[in-house]
Each structure stands twice: as structure tokens, then as C-alpha cells.
Structure 1
Amino acid sequence: MAPPKKKHASGQPCIIPGGFAVLSLKFSSDSPAQHKVYVKEHRVRAEKNSHRPLDRTLFVLNIPPYCSEAVVRELFSQFGCVQSVELRDHPGSVQESAPKLSKFFRPAEKTGFKVGYVVFQDSSSVNSAKSHPDDSPLVVCTEERPVKTGVQKWIHQYSETFIKPDKLQQIVDSFMEGYDKRKKEEEQRQRNEAEQEQEDEEGWVKVTKGHKGAKARPHSEAANKRTLQKEMRKKKRKELMNFYTWQQRNTQKEHIAELRKKFEEDKQRIALLRAQRKFRPY
């Protein structure tokens, strides 16, 4: 493992239960207070994506609100070249399919302590960050890297709420161009599939090949409509058969009830005849 460029104190890293290493933060060099963050190598077997490689990702807890992604990148860049930084409110898997919205249309971010995922370009940087001694705090705000807080931060956030019309128009135009392009590609793909799945003179239909193990079927809107209509007809026939079956069963029950009623009447008539019978020898 290559040693870090920055010389650290002679202390030992502080490891707490759970495998987390403790790193100390100081807002400025003359600040007496220190803030603790907890780092650990990110190892989640269920998460399989290229955004968080298991051997180069550092999981960070208890990141203070005044540390943005740029600040976190600068703090951990002393351990090695940082590829990407991701801050979240809660730990979780990355959402690759979610569309990336512009900053003008994003909901307001929650202010509070966050968790972070720091991806390095070299796996040795993760070990360097974990082995950093606790008695050598990292400085957040320096002359080269000033961090705005308090009134200055509020003024900056308020000024950022004003959107320049020309910049907003550029973002909207670029989004609409991409949307129109995707729309045309989707329409062209549907037309190509419809042409491939048309019936020939002998009634054969060419279907597209699905993934391995899947049953090949036409993947067009017309084919899906035909399949839906077929299922609806099958459902109606089944309901009609069930109706006839219920009607026959009801008729049989009524017939059995009538036979039982007639049997009881015959029993009463026979008992009455036996009671009225008299002995007449002559």
C-alpha cells in the first residue's frame, strides 16, 4: 500500500464497534471544537453497480450540514484522487434509472447530517483514509477553500433562487431536444417492429427473439391488443360456462326438493289409510 502524501500525526487510528474508523473534523484551524465522522469500506453484496465499486468506495457517516459534495471531495482528496462523491439523507442503493433533474427543478434539499459515498480511483486510498489517526483533525475551511456559513450562506442561497431567463431557456431547449429525439427513436422502433410482425400471404407472423428462456412473441402494440382481446373473449366464454353450470345445479336442487316434498306427502297419505282400515271378516 502506497503511503499517503500528507504526513499524519504519530497517533493510531480509532476503531469503534462495527468496523468504523473515527475521523476528526475542525471547521477552521483555530477552532477548539471537533466533529467526528465515521468511515468504513463500502461492502454490500446485494448492490451490483459500477457507481460504487466495492474495493474503491468509502462509506462515511455523520457528515455535518456545512460540508457539501465539493467540500467532502477536497477533504478526502488528501488520501488519494477522488472519482466521485455522493451525499444522501439515508443509506441506500443508487437509483440508476431515475432521471437526473436540473437544479432549477429539484426539490429543496433537507438540511441536516448526511451519509456519503466517496469513490477513489485507487483502492489503497480507502485504507489510507481508514488508517488516519484520530488526533490529527481534518480542516474544513481554509484560505484556499473557504466554506460559507451563517448569514453568508443564507445570502448565497437566497441569490441562487433567482433564475436567469436565458440560462433557464437553454436548459429547457436542451431537454426538449433530447425528449424529441427519444420520441422519434421510439416511434421508429415501433414502426420497424410492426413491419416485421406483419402477416405474410400464408398467414405467418415474424416475431422478435426475447431473452434466453423467454417465449418468443410479437412485441408491438397491435400484437398486444390482439392478445388482450383474445384473453377477454376467453374470459367471457368461461363466465358463460360458469353461468350455465350454476343454472343446471340450481335446477337439480329444485327437482330434488320437489321429490322430497312428494315423498313426505305420500308417507302421510299411507299413514292415514292405515289408520282408517277396519277389520271386516264378512
Structure 2
Amino acid sequence: MAPSKKKHASGQPCIIPGGFTVLSLQFSSDSVAQHKLYVKEHKVRAEKSSHRPLDRTLFVLNIPPYCSEGVVKELFSQFGCVQSVELRDHPGSFQDSGPKLSRFFKPVAKQGFRVGYVVFENSSSLRAAKSHPHDVSLVVCTEQRPVKTGVQKWIQQYTESFINPDKLQHIVDSFMEGYDKRKEEEAERQRKEAEQQQEDEEGWVKVTRGSKGTKGRPHSEAANERTLQKEMRKKKRKELLNFYTWQHRNTQKEHIADLRKKFEEDKQRIALLRAQRKFKPY
């Protein structure tokens, strides 16, 4: 998205179609080249998330690869206290499902221009960022905040790629403790559901009223299994035995086979008793 070619007065913000404000970005104070950031207030009402409040979140486009979350936080801190910064490859809803993983277990981030969500603590800071003059550049690399690029950045990434075994073991132990805790909570929840849905002697299930505003939960796996077994028993009772001719014929064959088997067993038992008889009158 290219900025408008219309000349603006000095000290005035540059607003382009779409409601974006153009902010100039310089890597260092003596750098000639400038980079453009495009910011606007985040107003996605369909996204009901407390992590991106509608009146305090700034949506930022065209963030260069050398700007990390810490650098972006420092850049926008001059407009007010920054609560959080989130960088993503593409715009989208907030996703925070599952446990928080360490950087050792996350996929490698793509190196490219990204979008960001900057959350301020006060709404006045957002208005200050939107009204920033376009001819006053934001400086990325300063003496207080040095940013490494090129070979120095590669050396730093290579050095950080080495993992301390003790630190890694501590991260793994912490993750496994949280995993075991979640599994215990899940097992306890399933046990309580099974107790609530347990049938009495007459086959009745006690149904209790939940708290106000709670949504109905789906049946648990144990309850579905019990229902399936009950249906199978009812179907078995309703099944008509020896209704068809082939069923009657098969039943007769099985009965004759059982009688023959019993007859052979009785013959062997009688022969064994005769062999063990010790009384010989002659």
C-alpha cells in the first residue's frame, strides 16, 4: 500500500485511504533510507478477546524483519506505556490454545515483513501514535537500544542456538508437571460426570440443575457407552428366536451335537470306572 503523494504540512500526520496513518522509520539516526509503517486503530468487533481491547489496540502493518517484539515495544513506548506486543505473519484472531511452549519447542519463525498488534495501557497513547507527524522518524537502533543485523545477527543467533542442558531439563520438568496436573484435573472431571450420570437400581439417572448461565455439556464417553449397552440389551430381548426355518434347523443341529458330545464323554467315564474296579469275585 503506497502512501499518498499529496504534500502535507510539517508536523501533521499523513493519513492514506483506508484510515491508515503513515509513520516513518529509520534504522539509525544517520541512515538516509526510510521505511514506512502503516498504523490504525484495531476495530474488529467480531473478535471478543480481552487481549486486544478495541479502544487501546494499535494495528501495525509492514514491520521489517529486524524489528522484534522488544524493539517494537520500545519504539511505541514514546507514545505511552505499552502493555503487550504481538507480531504475526498474517492478520488474524488471537490464538492462545494449549500450554505455553518454550522457544526450544516452537517452530522457527519466518523471516519477513510482519503485522503487529500493540496494546497500550491508556487510550490516549493510541491517539498520540495516530497523530504522530509523518516527517519525524522513529529510530530503531540507538546507543541505549542497539539492534544487530547482518553477520552480527547471525553470530548472535548461532550462539543462542546452543541449549544449556540444565535449563532445558528445568523447562521439560515444568511442562511435564503442568501436563500431569491437567491430566489429573481431566480424570477428576470425568469421574464427577460419571457419578452424576450413574444409574440407580431401577435404571433412573439423577439430573441436577446447573448454575445460571451455564451451557449444557455433551454426554461423556462413559454415558454414551452405557446407553449403547442398554440399547444392545433391549435389542437382544426383542429379537425373535427360531422365527425362521434356518434358525430352527441350526438350533436342532447344535442340540444334537451337544447330545453326541455328552454321550461320548459318558462312555469314556464308564470305561474309566470299569478299568478302576478292583472287586473280582472269580
Q: TM-score, normalised by structure 1?
A: 0.74
Structure 2: gaps of 5 or more residues:
1-8, 237-282
The percentage of aligned residue pairs carrying the same residue is 80
1:72 aligns with 2:72: yes
How far has the Cα of 1:216 moved from its partner?
8.0
CA 1:200/1:63 → structure 2, altered by over 3 Å: closer, same or farther?
Answer: same
Instruction: Compute the RMSD of aligned alpha carbons.
Output: 2.5
- 2:101 and 2:93 mapped to 1: Cα distance? 19
Contact 1:63–1:114 (CA under 8 A) maintained in structure 2: yes
Mapped to 1, the partners of 2:105 and 2:157 lie a distance apart of 15
Match of 2:93 in 1: 93
Tell me the residue number matched to 2:160: 160
Deviation of 1:224 after TM superposition, in Å, equals: 1.4
Question: Structure 1 231/16 Cα, relative in aligned 2: closer, same or farther at 3 Å?
Answer: farther
Distance 1:66 1:207 in 2: 59
Matching residue of 2:248: none
Instruction: Tell me, yes or no, if structure 1 residue 37 matches structure 2 residue 33.
Output: no
- The superposition leaves residues 99-127 of structure 1 with CA deviations (integer Å, 9 ceiling, x where unpaired) of 42210011010000000000000001111
Distance change >3 Å, CA 213–CA 72, structure 1 → 2: closer
Aligned with 1:31: secondary structure? coil
**Number of equivalences:** 227
- 1:104 aligns to what SS in structure 2? helix
1:232 shift after superposition: 7.7
1:223 aligns with 2:223: yes
CA–CA distance in structure 2, aligned partners of residues 107 and 69 of structure 1: 17
Which position in structure 2 is the counterpart of 1:207?
207
Alignment of 1:1-282 (within 5 A): 11-207=11-207, 209=209, 219-229=219-229
Stretch deviating more after TM superposition (199-208 or 159-168): 199-208
The normalised TM-score by structure 2 is 0.74
Task: In structure 2, give the amino acid aligned to 1:19.
Answer: G
Q: How far apart are the structure 1 equivalents of 2:65 and 2:234?
A: 60
Q: What amino acid maps onto 2:45 in structure 1?
A: R
Which 10-residue stretch deviates more, 25-34 or 206-215? Answer: 206-215
Read off the aligned partner of 2:153 and give its amino acid letter.
Answer: K
Deviates more, 1:203-212 or 1:186-195: 203-212
Query: Cα distance 1:215–1:36, how it changes in 2: closer, same or farther (>3 A)?
Result: closer
Counterpart amino acid of residue 178 in structure 1: G
Distance 1:215 1:187, change over 3 A: closer
Moved more, 17-26 or 196-205: 196-205
Where structure 1 has 5 or more consecutive residues not aligned to the other structure, the ranges are 1-8, 237-282
* Partner Cα distance (1:157, 1:32) in 2: 27
Report the CA distance shift for 1:97/1:234 in structure 2 as closer, same or farther (over 3 A): farther
Please give the secondary structure, in 1, of the residue aligned with 2:159.
Answer: helix
**1:227 Cα deviation (Å)?**
3.2
- The 3 A distance-change label for structure 1 pair 208 and 175 is farther
Please tell me the residue identity of whatever aligns with 1:111. Q
Q: d(CA) in 2 for partners of 1:213 and 1:193?
A: 15
Cα deviation, residue 53, structure 1: 0.3
Residue 3 of structure 2 corresponds to none
The CA deviation string for residues 140-160 of structure 1, in whole angstroms up to 9 with x for no partner, is 000000001011100011111
Deviation at 1:205, TM superposition (A): 1.3
- CA displacement 1:183-206 (0-9 Å, x = unmatched): 112212222222232222343212
1:209 shift after superposition: 4.5
Contact 1:13 1:132 in 2 (8 A): yes
